[in-house]
Chains A and B, each alone.
Chain A
């Protein structure tokens, strides 16, 4: 089975799966904290409308996990706040 990396752990996925579906299937339910209250969020609408499931994919922040197809070896990271940690400091 193919896998991608999520915060350094391998997550398996079936062909055609989105990142969000694969994370949920692996029991991971949240991968983002909000920029105001720092609260955890994951999939809510599942169809690309609500933008709650944002993740950093191969260095690109704020990708909708529920729409982004999983690919072998892809680097998926949870994100905090705006997701633009690369600009900090």
Chain B
């Protein structure tokens, strides 16, 4: 059943209007996950009338199945690192404006560790080129590791500290940004599924077609994450986004034992890899609530939600390798999510010239939470006809068309 959350302010908070969406919003954002929320917030702040629609409730997709990473550490120099650096700055600003505690924004920093000297050498090599792009890095030798993380296994070779890495509670972050959008006049309408797009005689977008009727608008943003491929096809401007499954183990609540986001050096390689098969590398971090989150696995198995015991076993083995004291700690929960990945592992951000009025903001793979702020910022600029803050050609929706041609 469709639900409408009206603008906040002007009347009692939480009051719901039974009126439909505004007759003809400037922009309709499809997807009420983290990326859609960020797009809505920045667009509404820019003065546009915004309606967010989602076929399910808010934060029902991959936003609710991740770890809330805002990382620069795992990005190799290139367009994605530029996006990550912009996003890191914007997230810090959002935290100051919206109260960092409201979505558990924590400037915890990342610690990437290597088991062997060879591994450490590669880590240092990466850190040096990242440093040249403005990433702050700090080499950590084996003796100094315990100062960062006292419970790490004693036989590691060393690591690199990335003070800029942040963490948020992603579901709260998305809900807070949607609230912020509503405070700036946006409407959020759940239970609305997109069925197609109506175009005018010039081929421009005229209305978004949905299961509850058409919504006249000149612009839509496809922020549907892993489902972005399907939705883009319905809009007549297909982009290739596919699911890459990951599992996360959640431990019983613990005292604050793990301070940074700690991960093994192979993680960076796995993020960038295109393997179909199972890849796992330990990513371990504590949360505000005391639980420790253990990732990360990557598999291309479609939308199969079945729990995979071999994956959980590997995650547990790798996490206890990094933090031996976790062996006596219980996992009380496990969840799986589907990262939205594109063949070149870069997101799709910006206007799609094939259907003027259609914009994409999807395909962020495992970095959607982190990259959402910059994505929303770029989309809002594009909608307002402003120059983007960073180069966006690498994220063009047409890059797949050209490849195919």
Size bin of chain A's contact surface: under 10
Confirm or deny: B15 has a beta carbon within 8 angstroms of a beta carbon on chain A. Answer: no
Known: A82-B255, A84-B255, A88-B255. A35 touches B290 (CB 8 A): yes
Q: Is the interface of B mostly helix, strand, loop or mixed?
A: loop
Is B290 a contact of A82 with CB atoms below 8 Å?
Answer: yes
Is A82 a contact of B252 with CB atoms below 8 Å?
Answer: yes
Known: A62-B330, A82-B290, A87-B325. A35 touches B257 (CB 8 A): no
Is B328 a contact of A87 with CB atoms below 8 Å?
Answer: no
How many residues of chain B get a CB closer than 8 Å to chain A's CBs?
Answer: 11
Interface readout for B275-307 with A: 1 if CB under 8 Å, 0 if not? Answer: 000000000000000100000000000000000
Known: A35-B290, A82-B290. A87 touches B330 (CB 8 A): no
Is B328 a contact of A82 with CB atoms below 8 Å?
Answer: no
CB distance from B308 to the nearest CB of A (A): 26
CB distance from A42 to the nearest CB of B (A): 19
CA distance A60 to B253 in the complex (A): 15
Known: A35-B290, A82-B290. A87 touches B252 (CB 8 A): no
Interface residue ranges of A30-57 to B (CB < 8 Å):
35
Interface readout for A60-89 with B: 1 if CB under 8 Å, 0 if not? Answer: 101000000000000000000110110110
CB distance from B369 to the nearest CB of A (A): 26
Is B254 a contact of A82 with CB atoms below 8 Å?
Answer: yes
Is A60 a contact of B252 with CB atoms below 8 Å?
Answer: no
CB distance from B342 to the nearest CB of A (A): 41
Q: Which listed residue (A62, A85, A87) contacts B257, Cβ 8 A?
A: A87
Could you list some 20 contacts between A and B, CB below 8 A? Answer: A35-B253, A35-B290, A60-B328, A62-B252, A62-B330, A81-B255, A82-B252, A82-B253, A82-B254, A82-B255, A82-B290, A84-B254, A84-B329, A85-B255, A87-B151, A87-B254, A87-B255, A87-B257, A87-B325, A88-B255
Query: Which residue numbers of A lie inside 8 Å of B, CB to CB?
Result: 35, 60, 62, 81-82, 84-85, 87-88
Query: Which residue numbers of B lie inside 8 Å of A, CB to CB?
Result: 151, 252-255, 257, 290, 325, 328-330
